[in-house]
Amino acid sequence: MKNLQPYLLSVALSLGIITYALAQNQNADAVIEKLKMSLKSGNSKELVSGFHDMVEVTLPDQEGSNYSKTQAEFVLRDFMKKYPPVDFKYVHKVLDREDFKFVIGEYLYNGGKYRVTMVIKPAKGVYSVDSIVFEK
């Protein structure tokens, strides 16, 4: 039985690591889906719930600025009021890295579309948006 203890410990640790990695990927997938639905519906409050405590926001014709979640909500709410969304869809995703995820989407509104780029990083055990950029 003593000979099995190191083996059992090794198996338990391996399973723990695998479970943690799968949970992190599921967390990232859930965050990415929530971001898509929030942008599609124009819900800035729901959108920023997936942000870091401080996030860089870049809007068309503006320099990127760091905002708290509350400030980002107001900035994005005003943007989405000015350009109400018709649809949002992802056109490219980089999800294979553990240290960050990267997504590019199209924010469609009645007058055209914006390209949206988001960098998603782990913070406090969950993935959340570190930066979001809207550009023509």
* Residue range(s) defining the domain that contains residue 128: 4-135
| Residue-wise pLDDT tens digits, 31-51 | 999 999 999 999 999 999 999
| Residue-wise pLDDT tens digits, 64-120 | 899 999 999 999 999 999 999 999 999 999 988 888 899 999 999 999 999 999 999
How many CA within 13 A on the CB side of residue 10? 5
Q: Is the pLDDT of residue 9 over 60?
A: no
CATH number reported for the structural domain that contains residue 104 in this entry: 3.10.450.50
More confident call, 58 vs 19: 58
Arithmetic mean of pLDDT, 22-33: 69
> Exposed/middle/buried for 101, CB within 10 Å: 0-12, 13-18, 19+?
buried
**Spatial distance between the Cα atoms of 116 and 106, rounded to a whole number of angstroms:** 6
Q: How many structural domains comprise the chain?
A: 1
More confident call, 62 vs 8: 62
Residue 3 identity (one-letter amino acid) = N
What distances in angstroms separate CA 85 from CA 79, 97, 132, one per listed residue? 10, 30, 16
Task: Return the residue matching tokens 């550009």.
Answer: 135
| 127 C-beta neighbours (distance < 10 Å), count | 23
Task: Enter the DSSP assignment of 61.
Answer: T
What distances in angstroms separate CA 1 from CA 6, 11, 12, one per listed residue? 10, 15, 16
Q: Is the pTM of this model over 0.75?
A: yes
N residues, the chain: 136
**Confidence label for 3 from pLDDT (cuts 50, 70 and 90):** low
**Confidence label for 6 from pLDDT (cuts 50, 70 and 90):** low
Structure token digits, residue 61: 């014709």
**Spatial distance between the Cα atoms of 22 and 63, rounded to a whole number of angstroms:** 37
